[in-house]
Structure 1
Amino acid sequence: MSTPDTTQHKLIVLDMAGTTVADDGLVELAFTAAAERLGEDPATMIDYVRATMGESKISVFRHLFGGDEARAQLANLAFEDAYGELVADGRIAPIPGAAEAIAELKEQGRTVVLTTGFARVTQDAILDALGWRELVELTLCPSDASGRGRPFPDMVLAAFLRTGAVDDVRRIVVAGDTSYDMLSGVRSGAGIVAGVLTGAHDEPALKEHGATHVLASVAELPALIREFPA
């Protein structure tokens, strides 16, 4: 019997905040600052923000402001500004072992893509702060994939189309820390949808929304993929 080619899972799509990047609660801090700048009470909205971690932030604000596009856009800009200021203050760091895991995945011959629900300007600020500009082949935000963030599968499918790393969506691996990451992976058809426990949601929530595996952190991902049957 031939040995399965485990390198067939050659496209790895990783979330950033909470999965590869430890932001120490900066999303909630930035949201609070944005709400206050618009004269809103963040306490009335924070539960929804927590429940929708991983979703495109403009989508969150559209819901919170009842479809008022102008106000949602203002809130999103205020959020991105506040988050960028916190990043500039050195309030983020890699999840322990994340950079090493990405390097190991690349050494295994896999293509790694980083995705986020933030706008491009914020994603770039994070990459610059961590010195990760050259870490992976491709980084994607919602505007790079039809404008729709998670839980839609668009960013995963954009990674599939842009990299050409695999010829079957079942050979994609998606990893993230939120329910919306799991839904995005499932809806894309990814063969491995791994939840990690370093971010927003716990194991029951990750499994409920489609996680095929739950890991303590992304540092465990290379070993999981290496052992997973092709």
Structure 2
Amino acid sequence: MQYRTPERLQGIVLDWAGTVVDFGSFAPTQIFVEAFAELGIAIGLEEARGPMGMGKWNHIRTLCDAPAIAARFEQAVGHAPTDDDVTALYERFMPLQIAKIGEHSALIPGALEAIAELRERGLKVGSCSGYPAVVMEQVVARAREHGFEADHVVATDEVPNGRPHPAQALANVIALGLEDVAACVKVDDTVPGILEGRRAGMWTVALTCSGNALGLDHGAYCALPEAELADRRQRIEAQFAPSQPHFMIDTIADLSGVVAEIDARLARGERP
């Protein structure tokens, strides 16, 4: 048998918050602020956004490892944050997250149309998230009400290692029966999510404006003067650059042209 580069895409793996739902990725970030506040520890929304894309326990561990937050934690609690403290914060986070998920469940404008076009091209639609399964159940149910249902969903606690490891992306490849990782594209609004796709051997598309990096709701995004938006976009692209996404676009609504370009590159024999 001889290896042949696939001639066109077969599947796509979509992130959820900031990619398909929740423009600005507010549901996970605001809850981190509230969970820390219950212990008397103030963290800002921008601080909470820092490790976005990781599994939530690891996200909290990373926040607690930040020197400024660790110092505030020690002042409030009386000792440096341990793994047990991280677990306790995670357990505070979970019910808050489940309770709030409905407030940030709207689909990102243009998502349904973009995904419908992918399906018309014959692509299977997988998905994964930094949310654990118990939260994903709520996210998936809300998205279904709005008209979107992925062919497969992998939560962060359903694999041995979450992002930036490739396990969730590869679990989608297996479940969807895709023949080659080079025939798959990962779409995400976070650096860990892009690294996940790169390490899985997929094409990758970073979303610069709909998710965590810009951190604005859709109305605020649309209201930005073009010059300011261009400046912010440039800074976000610089943040993504070390993870080496193959493409960077504003939102999932712009995905069609990228998919066509990937198909053209595959037809020329190129790989991710």
Normalising by the smaller structure, the TM-score range is 0.7 to 0.9
**Amino acid of the structure 1 residue aligned with 2:254:** E
For the residue of structure 2 that corresponds to 1:54, the secondary structure is: coil
Q: Does the 8 A contact of 1:141 with 1:155 survive in 2?
A: yes
Q: 1:53 — aligned with what?
A: 52
Deviations 1:107-145 (A, max 9, x none): 211111121101111111112123269612101111222
Which of 95, 99, 104 is matched with 1:91 structurally? 104
- SS of 1:206's equivalent in the other structure is helix
Task: Write the distance in 1 (CA, Å) between the matches of 2:154 and 2:18.
Answer: 16
Q: Contact between 1:19 and 1:217, CA under 8 Å: does it hold in 2? A: yes
TM-score normalised according to structure 2 size: 0.74
Aligned to 1:213: 247
TM (norm. structure 1) is 0.86
Identity across the alignment (%): 25
How far apart, CA to CA, are the structure 1 residues paired with 2:261 and 2:37? Answer: 48
Shift of 1:28: 2.3
1:65 and 1:71 in contact (8 A); partners too = no
Give the equivalent residue in structure 1 for 2:30.
Answer: 29
Q: Say if 2:194 and 2:205, in contact at 8 Å, map to a contact too.
A: yes
> Is the aligned partner of 1:176 residue 2:176?
no
Instruction: Tell me the residue number matched to 2:204.
Output: 193
Give ranges in structure 2 of 5+ residues lacking alignment: 66-80, 214-235, 267-272
Shift of 1:77: 2.3
Instruction: Supply the distance in 1 between the matched residues of 2:207 and 2:45 (Cα, whole angstroms).
Output: 22
1:140 matched to 2:141 = no
Q: Structure 1 residue 32: deviation in Å?
A: 1.3
SS at match of 1:93: coil
Aligned residues: 220
Unaligned runs of 5+ residues in structure 1 are: none
The one-character-per-residue Cα deviations of 1:72-123 (angstroms, maximum 9, x if unpaired) are 22211221211221123x3331111112211221121111112110111111
**Per residue, is there more helix in 1 or in 2?**
2
**Aligned equivalents of 1:6 and 1:220: distance in 2?**
24
